[in-house]
Amino acid sequence: MSTNPSISARRAAFRTLHESGFFVLPNPWDAGTARYLRSLGFKALATTSAGLAFTQGLPDADWAIPRDAALEHIRSIVAAVDLPINADFESGYGHTPDEVAANVRLCASTGVAGLSIEDATGNPSEPLYTLPLAVERIRAAREALAGTGVLLTARAECFLVHCDDPLRESIRRLTAYAEAGADVLYAPGASSRAEVEAIVAAVHPKPVNILVGSSSGLSLTELAAIGVRRASVGSALARAAWTGFIQAARLIARNNSLEGLHNTVPYSELNDFFRKDYAQRAIEEDQSRS
């Protein structure tokens, strides 16, 4: 019998995480980072469109990574670990509600436990979908997920596109998305205590996700006390890795210095981790065939 939980069990576990308390949803960008985060005891993980895009030498812009490539990446993260995975599915890779619904079904077929849909258009002259269309897109996604157990997160991108009064507009949109069937509400860029408290109160009792991208601002303990259900780190872990790489590479290129390689994780530590992890997976695969 397999030791890995089924997709339905992962989805049920993910839903339970959102019912009470607070948890951190870190964002790996490949199988290795997913496996390492799993070893640290995190209960669920989420993909990051930025983390993926940067590995491909692309910007984190709407659909710079094509839909099918994004789906394959999501599938690889789902396969890498026995944890619930939430997919950063950008704006659904389609403009119309029907297109969003079709693509959401494809995303659900990868085995994810949840997925998020943004309301940003990618068009600088009209950065957000009109509210009626945005609501229909969320409603279409919700209907496409009916019977799957997949949690739907609706994102209001108001803070990121610098619209007028982003808090007020975020709340207007998030409350409408909640009514349209979104399970989780998310306004990336909201960071002050007043903003977070207002969002949590506006959509209560639905759970709220808050993006934490640095050590400044509210702590995880403070977010939990406010009533936030989950915190994700978005591209932050990927940027932390890029920071180490860039600093070390610049010192070699500009100063002929190896100073940036000091205090790195030893090769043996990483290799031993993945050696043991690989061996454990082999045991689990043998058990699943017996």
Separation between Cα atoms, residue 203 and residue 186, nearest integer Å: 10
Per CATH, the number for 7-234 is 3.20.20.60
pLDDT beyond 70 at 268: yes
pLDDT exceeds 70 at position 256 = yes
Q: Which of 116-120, 212-216, 253-257 has the lowest mean pLDDT?
A: 212-216
Residue 67 CA from chain centroid, whole number: 16
Residue 205 has pLDDT above 70, yes or no: yes
Q: What is the pLDDT of residue 4?
A: 58
CB 93 within 8 A of CB 63: yes
Burial, 95: exposed, middle or buried (Cβ in 10 Å; 0-12, 13-18, 19+)? middle
pLDDT above 70: residue 265: yes
Give all strands (DSSP E) within the chain, no chain letters: 23-25, 45-46, 85-88, 114-118, 151-155, 184-186, 208-211, 230-232
Instruction: Measure the CA–CA gap between 290 and 279, rounded to whole angstroms.
Output: 17
How large a percentage of the chain has pLDDT more than 90? 91
pLDDT at residue 44 greater than cutoff 60: yes
Average pLDDT, the chain: 96
Q: Residue 202, exposed/middle/buried by CB under 10 A (0-12, 13-18, 19+)?
A: middle
135, with CB counted inside 10 A (0-12, 13-18, 19+), is: buried
Q: Are 37 and 10 in contact (CB under 8 A)?
A: no
What pLDDT score does 216 carry? Answer: 81
Q: What is the pLDDT of residue 287?
A: 82
**pLDDT score recorded for residue 3:** 40
- pLDDT-derived band at 2 (thresholds 50, 70, 90) equals very low
Which of helix, strand or coil describes residue 153?
Answer: strand
| Average pLDDT for 235-255 | 98
Q: What is the pLDDT of residue 168?
A: 98
Q: What percent of the chain has pLDDT over 70?
A: 99
Rounded to an integer, the average pLDDT of 16-43 is 98
